[in-house]
Chain A
């Protein structure tokens, strides 16, 4: 049914975001508050490529991935010098800067008005515009990215990441250039987030900067933290939980005047309680 397909597509998009951030936060231990920026870059690159230049969706995704990766290399180069709170603070700063660019550069991005009429994907003349075909596409993307994450985590590259998480100084002593590893995983996460952005843009057919602000980065972080750090399946569970719960809560009759605030209270309390009593999230392995 259309509605379930819609939910499934949204969960898929956020699963990709969760998986991408999990690599950075869960496995490498870097609390990044700027994932929404790369989500946005992917979305905008795809949107502009498809609407202004008539570029095919799949090529547009590639463009989004490349631009996102390049931006991540620049931003990551700066951020990889820090760890702990400074990394987080710096990443937060970058999110705000990128959102400001999207909003202020009215001539290119349309500013607050956003970009409407983004088409659905098509391949060799086959129109993939129904929700069902789009879901299959999104699901494929999730599966591919899931296996990439699994591969990274199991590899020796992944072991170094975990070592950085546990004790960066210790592994530096062994001669590992941790800056390089942090930069690499940051860029990889950014490129995956760009895929999510491209899917989002084409599915909803309209994007605006408001979708990609700091709150969105916090939301993606919550998916990873509540779902379970350092567990790829946890990222998917987290996405499913945080998307379905508000839909279910819609049926609970909060009085409208205070519904939004009550939702926020529940959300904030959930974060605090998880941190106090179950910091590894639902199914995570890494106890913060």
Chain B
């Protein structure tokens, strides 16, 4: 073996040992009076959706701080950054299961969720994803999703369209965005089975598009009753601006998309359908603690932690940590749960915790719920 190879192997061994050593150092030491249940959380704390990931982390920490003192167990959280990347998510979760011995996992988003679910199932660890638009993430005994699925939005959206006398729609969809695609697919399929609604044009585009002018020119003459956009930032804002620049004054609506915009003044006066607003007590608590309003998904994170805690408290006897299988079984049975997203929530047979969608409107640059 030549010198370079030896140095190379040495470097790799050192890094591996360092990783092993530091991670075991991070495990807590010594017995405590109450047994400790560890919960591993993987979130996009950096990268494109870091703001959402950070808000989620804040909410989970907030929930932890609100836990009553007389619980049977201590709860210890560990956070890992997955950069919204499935490969890194898999890495984080494998680490937390095999090195840290977590009893439950929380993850964020469908891409990471889809990768964590089989790992959770194989290792028999309870797993709750709090931002997955793909219900497949909830497959299996151990996997759960706490997020309003697209069909819930549609249940409120289409009646609202009818109520407002809307019949013709031009639709723009950012079809290479996972969240938007779920909403796009749901919209198109429900629209096609709603006789009073006619989608006169469907315009798809990809992330990174900055020039919608030709698409707008194509549909301008169709004069629809309303434009429906399913897109994320900045495409949503660019599209809207260019639509207005082209002289189109028709209103715009969406399921959820306005939630992700930082330029709400563009949509002043527009109504839309969104996942349930968090309860005002949660918004107040979060704002008081962190100085800023909670972002989309934060309330879901808050509830996810509490669901896991409630399940663990039900499943365990207080003397030793309950098996993750017991936690999962208990979680599946939860009903009448009062959470940040609403009262009387329950875990469905499909392992989805569903809360209702609501109609909102942008007033004075802020979203305001206008119906329950």
Contacts and interface: CB of A to CB of B under 8 A. Distances in A.
Interface centre among B95, B122, B134 (most CB of A within 10 A): B95
Given A205-B118, A248-B18, A6 B46 contact: no
A248 B175 contact: no
Contacts of A251: 18-19, 22-23
Nearest to A1: B98
B62 interface: no
A1 B99 CA distance: 8
B129 to A, nearest CB: 13
B266 interface: no
A195 B357 CA distance: 44
Interface in B79-127: 80-81, 83, 85-87, 90-91, 94-95, 97-99, 110-111, 114-115, 117-118, 122
A117 B138 CA distance: 12
Interface in B316-345: none
Interface stretch (B177-185, B297-305, B358-366): B177-185
Interface string B123-157: 00000000000101001000000000000000000
B184 to A, nearest CB: 9
B8 interface: yes
A7 interface: yes
B182 A113 contact: yes
A100 B182 contact: no
B86 A208 contact: yes
B97 to A, nearest CB: 7
B5 interface: yes
B176 A2 contact: no
Interface string A252-288: 0000110110010000000000000000001100000
A259 B45 contact: yes
Interface string B1-32: 00011001001100110111011000000000
Given A112-B181, A204-B90, A3 B98 contact: yes
Chain B residues touching A, majority SS? helix
Contacts of B201: none
Interface in B185-212: 204, 206
Main secondary structure of the interface of A (DSSP, over half): helix
Contacts of A103: 175-176, 206
Given A104-B175, A260-B46, A204 B19 contact: no
Nearest to B91: A6
A240 interface: yes
Interface of B: 4-5, 8, 11-12, 15-16, 18-20, 22-23, 45-47, 50, 54, 80-81, 83, 85-87, 90-91, 94-95, 97-99, 110-111, 114-115, 117-118, 122, 134, 136, 139, 175-178, 180-182, 204, 206
Given A3-B98, A240-B8, 11 more contacts: A3-B94, A3-B99, A7-B16, A10-B87, A103-B175, A104-B206, A116-B117, A211-B86, A250-B81, A260-B47, A260-B83
Interface of A: 1-4, 6-7, 10, 100, 103-104, 106, 111-114, 116-117, 129, 204-206, 208-211, 233, 237, 240-241, 244-245, 247-248, 250-251, 256-257, 259-260, 263, 282-283
List the 9 closest pairs (A to B, CB-CB), nearest first: A2-B98, A260-B46, A206-B114, A103-B176, A6-B94, A116-B114, A259-B46, A3-B95, A205-B118
